[in-house]
Amino acid sequence: YGQAFTLFDNLKQAIHSEKGVVAGGGASAMSTEAVDQKKKIEHFERAVEGLLLESKMQRNLALIRSRWAAYVPSNKAGRKAVNTSPEEMYRLYEHLKLDVFDLSELASNPNDEDEALYEECSTAMQGIKTILCFFLGERYNSMLKDREAYLLYNRAVEYCDALEEESGGKSASALFAPVLETARNVAGMARIGRCVTHARAIEASKGESDLKGEASASASASADEAAKRLLDHLEDSQSFVGAAGRQVYSLPPAPKSLPCHPFLLDTAIDHIVYPSIPAELTSNSEGKKEEVRTIRGSIS
């Protein structure tokens, strides 16, 4: 790649020199022949720039393949210091992203627009976004920051799903095919990492809530033990005036348990049918009441 880059640099210098010669022709620079020559030079310059960007992308892809072979996902055991780090993979794909962006700018030139190449660059950019989110999630996963890692893994999966919808199963060119294949592979690993980090984050949140509950309960219990109230110590002869941690009574009052009546009886009381009392019993009870009143009157 070094010799190719040197050749491209020499070509670009020759193109700039030729453009200067054509532009410095004075009145002859405005002729039809000079204008056609200028267009040909510009077209040749864009072709050289495209070949230069393609060579840079191939070089970056070769570096990515060599480093990806030594990469071990963060959720697998056996990871060593010699393995490729997520930061290194992220940096390599950032360089590739810049090359794809420059190529898309070249394809969207209004004088010589290439719609097919521009669409391929847009698809490749979507795949690179998927890969970048995955490696950022790997970095946070290695740091045990589960919430951030879950969000990044989820975003990588969303980018890959959008990529599948945009591509529609179409085959990419030989230049961008490795990028799209890697994006699909890392999306599968992102789904696994998303499940793992989600489970760990839920477990950590449960532990934090339990610790907070225990801490608040112990704090309230210690506060209740430290506070002494006058109404609870009326039989004591000690003074409660001005002493620390002493109160007249608690506000709000401490809750007390109340006896609970059987709710079945309360519910059934409205459905009880009482028996009818015979008239004879009613008359006998009224006669007895009259006798009692007579006796009381005679005594008084």
Give the model confidence (pLDDT) of 203-246 as tens digits.
888 766 666 656 565 555 555 555 666 666 666 666 655 566 66
| pLDDT reading at 71 higher than 90 | no
pLDDT for 285: 56
Give the model confidence (pLDDT) of 21-38 as tens digits.
555 554 454 566 666 766
Closest CA to 39 of 60, 59, 18, 53: 18
Percent of the chain with pLDDT over 90: 14
| pLDDT reading at 172 higher than 70 | yes
Average pLDDT rounded to a whole number, residues 157-179: 83
Percent of the chain with pLDDT over 70: 55
| pLDDT reading at 135 higher than 90 | yes
pLDDT for 280: 59
- What predicted TM-score, i.e. pTM, was given to this entire model? 0.60
Contacts 24+ apart (CB under 8 A), 157-162: 157/187, 157/190, 157/191, 157/194, 159/126, 159/127, 159/129, 159/130, 159/133, 159/183, 159/187, 160/127, 160/130, 160/184, 160/187, 160/190, 162/126
Per residue in 231-268, is it b (16+ CB within 10 Å) or e — as a string?
eeeeeeeeeeeeeeebeeeeeeeeeeeeeeeeeeeeee
Q: For residue 142, what are its two tokens?
A: 């290695």
CB atoms within 10 A of CB 21: 12
Average pLDDT rounded to a whole number, residues 133-139: 92
More confident residue, 37 or 148: 148
pLDDT for 85: 87
